[in-house]
Structure 1
Amino acid sequence: MPPPGPAEVCFVGRSNAGKSSAINVLTQQRRLAFSSKTPGRTRLINMFGIPDRLDPEQDIGYLVDLPGYGYASVAREDQSKWADVLGGYLRSRASLAGVVLLIDIRRGVTELDRKLSEWLAPTGTPVLALLTKADKLPYGQRIKAQAAVRKELAAIGALTTVPFSATHRIGIEEAAAHIENWILPKVAP
């Protein structure tokens, strides 16, 4: 890992929750982060620099694609190594400005999501829960699912939930605004 520097926003969630797809649609890039139908494809911490418009040689922040959790076909030894690396990153990274937690809206909060939220809560790091695949549910069910996730993850404190679909462009503007504010906080007049 490079030394801490500009603000970092990490994307975390179960394998195949849509982390890479979310990064791609939010950055308006087609293949910045590699997405696959095969769970467990991301095996490294991938950092994507956000260049400064005034000085493209400088990065104003980073989007960080973390390996997914919960993929059973990965050896337990590898799962343990990932847990240690990811845990260290999430708990102690000085430049971590926010966490984007991706949850499949159809499945709701899983046991692993709950454990992650309990682990994140004491850090005080703000969390944006993107409820992916929102296009798969009618509007009324989306709202119910959003309320259920908010209730289940209430221990996090600084939590915002947004129904999200990369393919149907649901929740993109709201998610982008949260992330941009973490990277470049707006100063109140």
Structure 2
Amino acid sequence: MSILHRASFFTSAAKLHQLPPPSVPEVCFVGRSNAGKSSAINVLANQKRLAFSSKTPGRTRLINMFGLPDPLDSEHPLGFLVDLPGYGYASVARDAREEWADVLGAYLRERTSLAGIVLLVDIRRGVTDLDRRLANWIAPTGKPVLVLLTKADKLPYGQRLKAVAAVRKDLADIGALNAIPFSATHRIGLEEADLKITNWISPKVVP
């Protein structure tokens, strides 16, 4: 069983200073609103409602942390999955959008326990201006990035490959980047994503 399947809710925070002190590895999930972030977290954790997706995109404003238990140490988590607020939904007031941007940017730049970043991009849209803004925050961190091209089941195989190539080109300034087609409903790319994230959390654990 994958260690991701043992994920459970740990805490929520509106501001960085409300998070627990950096300690064990964290893998964060980030993407524009409605890119399929909650669905991806749920299918990777093999749970239906671990991460909640609002019917109103952009409504979730909290940083949500999910703990992964350490089989050898029940007192402390092995690592965390971190669900960052969806970014950039147009109906949200500009001040609120900028406040979220500050929180997202600060987390990506300053969180010393950050081990890897999962960037979710709708495969049908490709890299949008908002995705580019996220990439501009990510690139200076030097952290490895896994791009999940979500809703891959909506495109035939050949178009998926073209979309992956386009994303790699558009985000070439992010050094350690891997991009794969992904679908929560059809479980496309699930094993590859699980392996990458698991190795970021604990290279010694075999899924």
TM-score band, normalised by the shorter chain? over 0.9
Q: Please give the secondary structure, in 2, of the residue aligned with 1:155.
A: coil
1:118 Cα offset (Å): 2.2
Structure 2 match to 1:177 = 195
Residues in 1 aligned to 2:127 and 2:203: alpha-carbon distance in whole angstroms: 29
Unaligned residue ranges in structure 1 (runs of 5+): none
Match of 1:10 among 13, 28, 45: 28
Structure 1 match to 2:163 = 145
Report Cα offsets for 1:27-85 as digits up to 9, x if no partner. Answer: 11110001234211321000000111233332100000011111011111111211111
Structure 2 match to 1:84 = 102
Q: Please give the secondary structure, in 2, of the residue aligned with 1:58.
A: strand
Structure 2 match to 1:56 = 74
Residue 137 of structure 2 corresponds to residue 119 of structure 1: yes
Q: For the Cα contact (< 8 Å) 2:25–2:115, is it kept in 1?
A: yes
Residue 31 of structure 2 corresponds to residue 20 of structure 1: no
Structure 2 match to 1:133 = 151
Root-mean-square deviation over aligned CA pairs: 1.3
Q: TM-score, normalised by structure 2?
A: 0.87
Q: Percent of aligned positions with the same letter in both sequences?
A: 76
Match of 2:179 among 140, 158, 161: 161
Q: For the Cα contact (< 8 Å) 2:122–2:149, is it kept in 1?
A: yes
Structure 1 match to 2:3 = none
1:22 Cα offset (Å): 0.7
Residues in 1 aligned to 2:109 and 2:137: alpha-carbon distance in whole angstroms: 8
Structure 1 match to 2:125 = 107
Residues in 1 aligned to 2:111 and 2:80: alpha-carbon distance in whole angstroms: 13
Residues in 2 aligned to 1:57 and 1:19: alpha-carbon distance in whole angstroms: 29
Q: For the Cα contact (< 8 Å) 2:148–2:180, is it kept in 1?
A: yes
Moved more, 84-93 or 30-39: 30-39
Amino acid corresponding to residue 102 of structure 2 in structure 1: D
Runs of 4 or more consecutive aligned structure 1 residues displaced over 6 Å after TM superposition: none
Q: Please give the secondary structure, in 1, of the residue aligned with 2:137.
A: helix
Amino acid corresponding to residue 51 of structure 1 in structure 2: P
Q: TM-score, normalised by structure 1?
A: 0.95
Residues in 2 aligned to 1:57 and 1:28: alpha-carbon distance in whole angstroms: 23
Structure 1 match to 2:114 = 96
1:186 Cα offset (Å): 4.3
User: Is the alpha carbon distance of 1:151 and 1:186 closer, same or farther for their aligned partners in structure 2, counting shifts above 3 Å?
Assistant: farther
Q: For the Cα contact (< 8 Å) 2:147–2:178, is it kept in 1?
A: yes
